[in-house]
A and B are shown apart, each in its own frame.
Chain A
Amino acid sequence: MLNIIVFCETKQGKIRPVAKEALSAARGIAEGLGAKVLGVLIGPSIANAAEELAPFGPDRLMAVTHPALEKYSTEGYTQALAEIINSESPAAVIFSATAMGKDLAPRVAAKMDKPLLADCTELTVEDGRIHIVRPIYAGKVLLRAAVQSEWAVLSLRPKIFQPKPVNGVAVSVETREVALDESKIRAKVVEVKQESSATVDLTEADFIVSGGRGMKAAENFTLIEELAKTIGATVGASRAVIDADWRPHSDQVGQTGKTVSPTLYIACGISGAVQHLAGMSSSKVIVAINKDADAPIFKIATYGIVGDALKIVPVLTEAIKQAKTE
């Protein structure tokens, strides 16, 4: 029996939401490939893995264990996955295109000599072959491609595939001990620093409030932070802001920053350079606040207000606070 092997990502002892997205995406192509869905968890054991993941339709769940897998390492996890892949007849191997997935998927693909289609936003099966869509040039164009090899490694862009609960049978988690060559685990994570545990990362955020050059100065980002706090959003920024050192690099949205797909994206004082639009135009609802009525951002915004972001943002924050209490 063929298996779609899904790497179910965990972090700090918890299953990440992307794992559910990946299982649902796998379920969507399982029938076409005539394959079962096998969810694989690596690392410290997760207490409620079966209860949390079973609704998303895996046929089997497997916890892969080895003392060297307690902490993430590219080479350790690659070896563990290679062992599973070699014994479970893959129809596809699926990752989430997260920091971990982007580090791991290429290593696994190269080890198994199979192609990697990274950061996919659509998966289908036609005549038994996997067809994918992946944005390239930061989404300025889309690539439609088909897998020609027996199977392929796929990584899925977060927030694109909806986690869909299905009526399935209960599954329990099988434990698989693997043998690793520890001399080949040469790069090791020695420390993890979680700096913004309170907020969700830009790539996984439902709400984003971004500021641009129109915010005028670093200290004015307190206005952006206030609005973000009010709606539970993550703060983003345009490249101009990063280049001016008003915000850290990790906040940048756009072609040389992060590509985001939130439900709501509020662009404050951002004119909308091509490279910025590329990174955020797949947001569901876009609000633009900008002084220049001809700014490109208004061409893709769902709603726009023409005016000074410095004056409008605090008024918007208050209005939303008010609306929430009503």
Chain B
Amino acid sequence: MKILLLLKTVADSEASIRPTSDGKAVALSDINLILNPYDEYAAEEALQIREKTGDAEITALCYGDETAIKTLRTALALGVEKGVHIKGQPGFDSLTTAKIIAAVIKDMDYDLILCGKQAIDDDSSSVGVMVAELLDIPSVSVVVKLEITDGNVRATREIEGGHEMVETKMPCLVSAQKGLNEPRYPSLKGIMAAKKKPIEEKDALAAETQIEVLRVEAPATRSAGKIVGEGEEAVPELVRLLKEEAKVL
């Protein structure tokens, strides 16, 4: 089985994020960059499938600037065989990104594409499903359980207040949600081995964006309210405020 893994480099979720001074982008120069957390579940699932079937080959793809190399090395350290670096700068138009990734995948052999359900930077939750449409393969998004037998795929996807069981066949794309598995950490041996694994470089397809970024701005700040008091004694006053001032009870 050939598995493709779609990865993205993102700002650490603990980081405070500010717009650049010209207000046209996000200031990322001093921010710790990590592998998108949802992509970790996708990577772990790929590794578990390989461990179960014994014959899977995993290739990780990452579209981005030179920071993509570190992200790919992280995946290689986990046990992924090879990396593909699609050189460029992802913008806010998810369809453009999807076209660039799909153009590279079109020339590759694959049975299963795994990705995170969402990148925690632009929060668009759309590139994976778009890639599937562009490649004309089925997709199942926000998956918390995945079973594959003889090319048949049974995936459980999260919906509001419940789950949907979806059946399809490979080739297909599955996007991972938290809960799918417990991602492993890379071993020291893995980190050493990753340095010798191949990363192929690809140029991004020239695709024009169809959205214009007007401004990236900080949200209106919430001002701190009042400390009603300390301990249980403050409860009656809180209830009064919720009822009479905020009028929410």
**How close is B129's CB to chain A, nearest CB, in angstroms?**
4
- Which residues 149-177 of B sit at the A interface, judged by CB distance below 8 A? 157-169, 172, 177
In the complex, what residue of chain B is closest to A277 when comparing beta carbons? B222
- Which residues 237-286 of A sit at the B interface, judged by CB distance below 8 A? 242, 248-250, 252, 254-257, 263-264, 273-275, 281, 284-286
- Which residues 303-320 of A sit at the B interface, judged by CB distance below 8 A? 303-308, 311-312, 315-316, 319-320
**Chain B 222-249 interface mask (CB, 8 Å, partner A; 1/0):** 1011111111101110110111001011
B162 near A192 with CB under 8 A, answer: yes
Q: Does A57 contact B (CB under 8 A)?
A: no
Q: How far is the CA of A114 from the CA of B242 in the complex (A)?
A: 45
- Which residues 1-40 of A sit at the B interface, judged by CB distance below 8 A? 11
- Residues of A with C-beta under 8 A to B235: 305, 312, 315-316, 319
B164 near A191 with CB under 8 A, answer: yes
**Chain A 199-217 interface mask (CB, 8 Å, partner B; 1/0):** 1110110010000000000
**How close is A48's CB to chain B, nearest CB, in angstroms?**
22
Binds B, one of A83-91, A94-102, A172-180: A94-102
- Residues of A with C-beta under 8 A to B222: 281, 286, 299-300
**How close is A270's CB to chain B, nearest CB, in angstroms?**
15
Binds A, one of B43-51, B55-63, B132-140, B192-200: B132-140
- Residues of B with C-beta under 8 A to A249: 144, 177-179
Q: Does B89 contact A (CB under 8 A)?
A: no
Q: Does B81 contact A (CB under 8 A)?
A: no
- Residues of B with C-beta under 8 A to A274: 13-16
**How close is B26's CB to chain A, nearest CB, in angstroms?**
6
Interface size, A (range): 35 or more
**How close is A274's CB to chain B, nearest CB, in angstroms?**
6
Q: How far is the CA of A300 from the CA of B220 in the complex (A)?
A: 12
- Residues of A with C-beta under 8 A to B67: none
Interface size, B (range): 35 or more
B129 near A103 with CB under 8 A, answer: yes
Q: A116-B94, A257-B178 known; A141 and B18 CB under 8 Å?
A: yes
- Residues of A with C-beta under 8 A to B137: 186
B239 near A304 with CB under 8 A, answer: no
Q: Does B141 contact A (CB under 8 A)?
A: yes
A99 near B160 with CB under 8 A, answer: yes
**How close is B89's CB to chain A, nearest CB, in angstroms?**
16
Q: A110-B130, A187-B139, A274-B16 known; A195 and B161 CB under 8 Å?
A: yes
- Which residues 109-151 of A sit at the B interface, judged by CB distance below 8 A? 109-111, 113-119, 131, 134-149
Q: Does A220 contact B (CB under 8 A)?
A: no
Q: A148-B212, A311-B232 known; A136 and B123 CB under 8 Å?
A: yes
**How close is A38's CB to chain B, nearest CB, in angstroms?**
22
B162 near A194 with CB under 8 A, answer: yes
**Chain B 109-140 interface mask (CB, 8 Å, partner A; 1/0):** 00000000000111111111110111001111
Chain A interface residues (CB < 8 Å from chain B): 11, 72, 74-75, 78, 98-100, 102-103, 105-107, 109-111, 113-119, 131, 134-149, 152, 186-197, 199-201, 203-204, 207, 231, 242, 248-250, 252, 254-257, 263-264, 273-275, 281, 284-287, 293, 298-308, 311-312, 315-316, 319-320, 323-324
- Show 11 residue pairs from A and B whose CB-CB distance is below 8 angstroms, ordered by the A residue: A135-B123, A148-B209, A148-B212, A192-B165, A196-B162, A201-B160, A249-B178, A298-B227, A301-B224, A302-B246, A305-B234
